[in-house]
Each structure stands twice: as structure tokens, then as C-alpha cells.
Amino acid sequence: MISERVQIARLFHRFSFGPKPGEFSRALKNGLAAASAELLTVPPNDEGLKSIANPTLTDLGPFPAVNSPNRKVFDDAMRRQRHDLTLWWLDRMVLADHGLTERMTWFWHGHWATSIGKVEYSFPMYLQNQTLRKYALGNFADQSRNMMLDGALQYWLDNGNNTVSAPNENLAREFMELFTLGVDQYSEQDVKLVARALTGYTVARSSGTVTFNPKKHDSSTLNILGKTSSFTAEQVSNHLVAQSQCARFIAQRIWFRFISDTAPLTYDNPLISAFADRDISALIKSAGTGAGISNPENSLVKSPVEWFVAVCRALKVTPSKVSKPDQVINFLDKLGQIPFVPPNVGGWPSGEPWLTTAAAQYRLQVAQYLLTQGDLRALSSAPSGDRYFMIGDLLGVPTWSVRTARALRNVQGDPTRLFLLAVSSPEYIVSI
């Protein structure tokens, strides 16, 4: 078992994007039970999000020819929409008072890992993001069915041209292997059959509109994982999500990202039964209150976006309002992780791959820039002798090692340096 302080810090950094100034001290005062109830339950309203307007994204239609006079206007609009979409989501992560919904949307984005690198259009990526947010803590069967017919995902995995005469198996395989069941839980024959059930759908890439044409759909009776029926895409999704293996697989994915990416989920872990009804909220509550969260060995590394958003929250920096918003995306690129651009359909890596020397260097650069944009009054208004004690509570860091404590005490006369070192320290990069 670990102290209440460590557990509360874990809740803030894993089930939200780190505390806003003052939140961690308040939670400590109220105790673990209250903190966990508060952090794991989404309130009906979020004042922090009220100042954010949805981005004005539109269907930009087909690409004009390269030499057409409209091409430059089109390219500029594509760039602007992508910029607006990315910063809009980063703003939401930073400004939300209650971080769980955005944190879960972020998790699901990594799960259904669709990249704007191939989709190119921002509008369908935005629609997908809204779907992920709508079902972030809802029922996984609803989420899967909606994702099965999501335009960006369908385009990303080539289902638009999956036809009876020449099936394209990409979506079928990944839907089973990566989204609902896990590898080796189905046969090659199942891949072929599911691909047939997913025929007849076309996707308009720029709008993300998916259209079903019954004439092009393979409506033959298929036997998929023990059920014989003529399946539509939605029915296939329901059937896969209803497999008992789905509960184990999704519980494993939650465990991997929220609790431990090294210890396996045990066979009888309560997370699996908590997901019996495919209720994501119940699964998250189980993860946030179960034995895993208090096991001292279960530390995790903050991914670049998680680290960046946590620093912004502590500094009250709104990503779209900094002096050079493009620089924000450039920084995230150097750190190796930009929202809407996962490296592939498997999503981003976890753990040690983020702890490179190059990343250490870029984190210093990014933090230095954010410090020029942020509000450090919480620290600077305090007597310098108190600042070392305050920085841990400001950032939600449970304990400093002797090494880090020495480095921080040495600079507490300078709040900017103190903050820079604290967010670059091993104890902040890792959720202990």
C-alpha cells in the first residue's frame, strides 16, 4: 500500500491531466475517499470549458487540381482547420475543470488510433473526436457501433472500397485484433467473414459521411464466432463486443494505460467483471479504486501530451492563446506525440520509449517557452523559503527524492527556475 498522498497524485495524473493550482492541496484536505469520488465522477457542468467555442470546421470538398487557382485557398483552409482542431482539443484538456472526460477521450483516441496523416481532412476527424467524447464513459457497445460507422475510421482502414467481389480485410482484422478482442481470439476465417459483413459501405472522405448500399452488401448467412446470421456492420460490432473476451481485452487496455504497462492484468482481476455490462464508467471506477492503483510498483510514464497539458494546467496557459500557437504543435512534434497523429493503428507507445535523452532536452525547451506565457504568481507571491514546499502541491507530485529536493531547494529564490526544474524532474515525468 502507498500513502493517500501518492494515491491522490496518481488519480490526478492518470484520470485527469494533473491538478490546476490549489486543487491538489484541497483534495489532500478532503481525503482519498472524497478525492476519488470527485475525480472519478463527471459533474453535469464544467465551468472551465465554457470559454471554449467549438472550432468552425467545414466540409472542404475534393482536392482541387494541383495547378488550379483554387488550390492555394484550399491548402490554406486545410492547414487552418487542422491547426484549429488540434489547439481546440488541447485547450479542452487544459481548461476542463474536471479532467476525466477529456482524459478518456484521449485514451479512446489512442485506442481507435486514427491519423489525420491519411485522412487529411479535419472535419471527419472532428466528428470522430466528438463521438469518442460522447461515448467516453458510456457503453462500449454503443461506442463500437458508432465507431464502426465512423467516416474517419472507415477511410483510415480502407473500408470504403471493401466489396463483395474483392474484400478489403483491413477494418475487419483491426476491429477484432486491436479494438474489441485482441490477437489470437479469432480465426483467419473470421477475418474473411467479418470483412464480407462490412461490405456495402462507402465513405465520403471530406465529410466523413458513410453511406450504406444494400445492393453492394454481402447479405449471405455467415457463421462468425459461433453465431450464424446475415450481419450488418452494426450487428457484427454488437456480436464482437458481446464476446466474453471483449471484457478482458478492454479491461487489459485500461489497465495498461491507467495502472501498469508492465504487470499483466490478472485472470480474476475485478476490472473484468466490472465491465460485464460494457459500462466504461464502471470499469474506470474499478480501475481508480481497485488494488492496482495503490500498488507501489505500478508507476507509469507521462506521455508528451500528458506532460505538456499538465504543465499548461499548472501555469494557466491556454494553448491557443500563446504568442506562437504553431510553436505548440511544433514542440509536441519534437516530443513525438501530436493529437490526431498517432504513429499507426496501434496507437502510441507507453513507458520507457518516452524517456529518451532527446525528449529530456526538448522538455526543457518547451517548459522554458511555456514559462514565458504562464502565470506563476502562486509561487512568486510566496516567501522564497516556502516555495520548495509549495511546488510539490502545486504540481501534484507526492514526494521528491533527495537528489531532486537538493536541486530544487538550491533554486527556490528564483520561481521560474524552480518550476522549470520541477517539471523536468524524474518525479514529475513519471507518475510514481
Partner 1 sequence: MDTLSRRRFLQLSGAAIVGASAPVLSISQIVQAAQSRPLPIGTPIVVIITLYGGNDGLNTVIPYQDSTYLQARPDISYAPSDVLPLDKDLALNGSMAGMKNLWDQKKLAIIRGVGYPQSDRSHFTSMAIWQSGSPTNQLSSGWIGRWIDTQPRDPMLAISLGSVLPPLMAGTIRSGSALPLGGIVVPTGALALDCMRLSAPAASDTKLLATAATSLRDLFDLSSNVTPVLKLPAPPATDLPTSNGGSAGGSSDLQQQLDLVAKLIAVGAPTRVWSVSLGGFDTHANEKGAQSVLLGNVSDSISRFLSQMRSTNRGADVTVMAYSEFGRRVHGNASQGTDHGTSGSVFLAGDKIAGGFYGDQPSLTSLVDGDLAVTSDFRDIYATVLESLLKSPVDQVLGSWKGRTNFVRKI
Nearer to partner 1, 137 or 250 (CB): 250
**Closest approach of partner 1 to the CB of residue 148, in Å:** 17
Compare residues 115 and 238 and give the one whose CB is closer to partner 1: 115
The residue among 82 and 253 lying less far from partner 1, judged by its C-beta, is: 253
Q: By C-beta, is 54 or 344 nearer to partner 1?
A: 344
Question: Least distance from C-beta 53 to partner 1, angstroms?
Answer: 33
Cell output for 366: 518547451
Nearer to partner 1, 80 or 417 (CB): 417
Q: How far is the CB of 260 from partner 1 (least distance, A)?
A: 11
Residue 63 CA to residue 50 CA, distance in Å, equals: 35
The distance in angstroms from the start CA to the end CA of the chain is 13
Please state the closest distance from residue 130 (CB atom) to partner 1, in A: 23
Cell matching residue 403 = 537528489
Q: How near is the Cβ of 166 to partner 1 at its closest, in Å?
A: 4
Q: Which is nearer to partner 1, 281 or 299 (CB)?
A: 299
Which residues bind to partner 1, rule: CB under 8 A? 115, 117-118, 156-158, 160-163, 165-170, 173-174, 177, 183-184, 188, 191, 261-262, 297, 299-301, 343-353, 355-361, 364, 401-404, 406-407, 410-411, 417, 420-421, 424-427, 429-430, 432
CB contact at 8 A, 163 and 216? yes
Enumerate residues 6+ apart whose C-beta is below 8 A from 353: none
Residue spans of alpha helices (H) in 96-178: 100-111, 116-119, 122-134, 140-148, 151-156, 170-174
Q: Residue 78: CA atoms inside 13 Å, Cβ hemisphere, count?
A: 17
Q: What is the nearest approach in angstroms of partner 1 to the Cβ of residue 250?
A: 15
What DSSP letter does each residue of 276-320 carry, written as one string? Answer: TT-BHHHHHHHHHHSGGGG-TT--EEPPHHHHHHHHHHHHT--GG
- Cα 214 versus chain centre, distance: 35
Residue 43, judged by CB atoms within 10 A of its CB (0-12, 13-18, 19+), counts as exposed
Closest CB to partner 1 among 246 and 432? 432
CB of 265 to partner 1, least distance (A): 13
- At 369, give phi and psi (nearest 5°): -65, -45
